[in-house]
Amino acid sequence: MLDGFASLERSADQPWDLVIVGGGITGAGILREAVRSGRSALLLEQGDFASGTSSRSSKLVHGGLRYLKQGQWQLTRHSVREREALLADAPGLVDPQPFAFPVFRGQRPGLGVTRFGLGLYDLIAGKRRSRRLAWDELQAWAPGLSTRDLAGVLCFEDARTDDARLVLRLLQEACAAGARAYNYSRVTGYMEEGGRITGLHWQQAGGPSGSLRARNVINASGAWAQSLGGAQAPRLRPLRGSHLLFDAKRLQLPAALSFLHPDDHRPVFAYAWEGAALLGTTDLDHPDNLDREPQISDAEVEYLLKAARFAWPGLKLGRADVIASYAGVRPVVDSGAARPSDESRETAMWQQPGLLSVTGGKLTTFRLTALEALAALEGGRPSRPPRIFDPAPAPDCPPACEPQTWQRLRGRYGAALERLMTLAQPGDFARIGSSPTVWAELRYAATHEAVRHLDDLLLRRSRLGLVLPDACRAQMPRIRAVCQPALGWDDRRWGNEEGAWYRRWHGHYSLPARDS
């Protein structure tokens, strides 16, 4: 459970082996491995859990063909192996994602070189997953795909996830094992004695403040790591990646499609996700203040729509077809590369007595990053545990729940599924709109997952705010009926939260006004 927001003051009464700053995938992974190794560990997040990059990624668990092309063999190898471990460990949370990759005449690399690269990708994974599609398979894999100048289509397999739920499962397991995690708790400074960091000062949003003592502090604050990382922090290059979401009936995607943009030949992709169709991504320098929520720009909207019209010319996709958008900022170490896409996604770590900072890296390799960080504190070598997650319970699927939904719930909630089941009421296993989310998930989140604001519920505990049109307005009456009692909000508080949600959605998750 992630409840216990008010108990942070009581946590100050004891010294901790480890305090982690940052509640994204890196911090959550470190917290899980820290408590697994027997450390007393606590995590602080200045916003909501996963509210930064870790709920705004491309949702792909993959080895990274692009990194293979750039010669980053070690990164690709680690990523592919962690992908396989996640697929085996968390079905329903991390699931296979088949890809179709069209190659057009005149494209570089061409069909032969691309097929060779996919063969290497298979070799690293230890499983053959790629082949060339026969022409009579094309409609089943990529309906509506442009065949003009098409040299051939290759297919391969990676994986997809719900990135925010991946973070929450790690936090839930860590807390069940004795760790503590607090959202909306900002670190305001470090405590130092004799040249060593010995703890930190914190301030809760609209609440108390205090201090925590710790043997070690790990700064895993992502794009904010430079400001909290001391004098030795490397220069970061925040990069924005933006995405569009479409109604899945408008853009039907039996398999994911990965292809090169006609303008700059960067890889873009589209695939079915959470009942919608997701198209991404951009890769641009993000000079804005990091404390301001990122938003897709008008130029990025047009860039992605041009890619869509290139791949599916018959659909004539336009702005009116977009149901939502989102943008995230990637924390990348600045190596001086000319193009943002050429910057390395390797993890960066730097250290001073009592404080280790870590940033960069990939969603897929969060466990390796966590193990390396913990090993760096002790000056040792990381050892990989046999599992990423605890084994999920295997109760029988209740009659009211579809088997596919049951697999999904087991993957997302693990051992917490039993608690979710005890809260479920008649009708709670019905899907919400066109999404695969069921009402039981909202009821559980409102009761046990530290929801402080309505956008926590609609953007991260569930993804309804992204995949249902018009900011979930049609579903809001029942969302209120299910969640308001569990949250303990009176009518005035609910009204304020609902108004703030609509303003936030229109300001950051719809489309921006067109540039003049």
HEC-encoded secondary structure of 49-93: CCCCHHHCCCCEECCCHHHHHCCCHHHHHHHHHHHHHHHHHCCCC
SS3 343: coil
Rounded Cα distance between 474 and 466, Å, is: 14
Pairing relation of β-strands 150-161 and 185-193? Answer: unpaired
Residue 194, judged by CB atoms within 10 A of its CB (0-12, 13-18, 19+), counts as exposed
The set of residues, in sequence order, having a beta carbon less than 8 Å from that of 358 and lying 6+ positions away, is 26, 30, 218, 219, 220, 225, 347, 348, 349, 369, 372, 373
Which of 373, 313, 345, 289 lies closest to 58 in space, CA to CA? Answer: 345
Q: How much is the pLDDT for 64? A: 67
pLDDT at 1: 47
Query: What's the pLDDT at 86?
Result: 95
DSSP one-letter code for 234: P
Nearest to 351 by CA among 193, 234, 224: 234
- The pTM of this model reads 0.95
Tokens of 445: 């989140």
Q: Report the pLDDT value the prediction gives residue 516, as an integer from 0 to 100.
A: 44
For residue 208, give the 3-state DSSP assignment: coil
Summarize pLDDT for 392-445 with one digit per residue, the tens.
Answer: 777 788 999 999 999 999 999 999 999 999 999 999 999 999 999 999 999 999
pLDDT at 62: 83
**pLDDT (0 to 100) of residue 68:** 64
Under DSSP, is residue 436 helix (H, G, I), strand (E, B) or coil? coil
Beta pairing, strands 185-193 & 196-204? antiparallel
Q: What is the pLDDT of residue 116?
A: 87
The CA-based dihedral angle spanning residues 317, 318, 323, 328, taken in that order and rounded to the nearest 10 degrees: 100
Residues of the chain with pLDDT below 70 are: 1-6, 63-73, 229-231, 338, 342, 344-345, 515-516
**Predicted local confidence at residue 383, as pLDDT:** 74
CA distance 442 to 434: 15
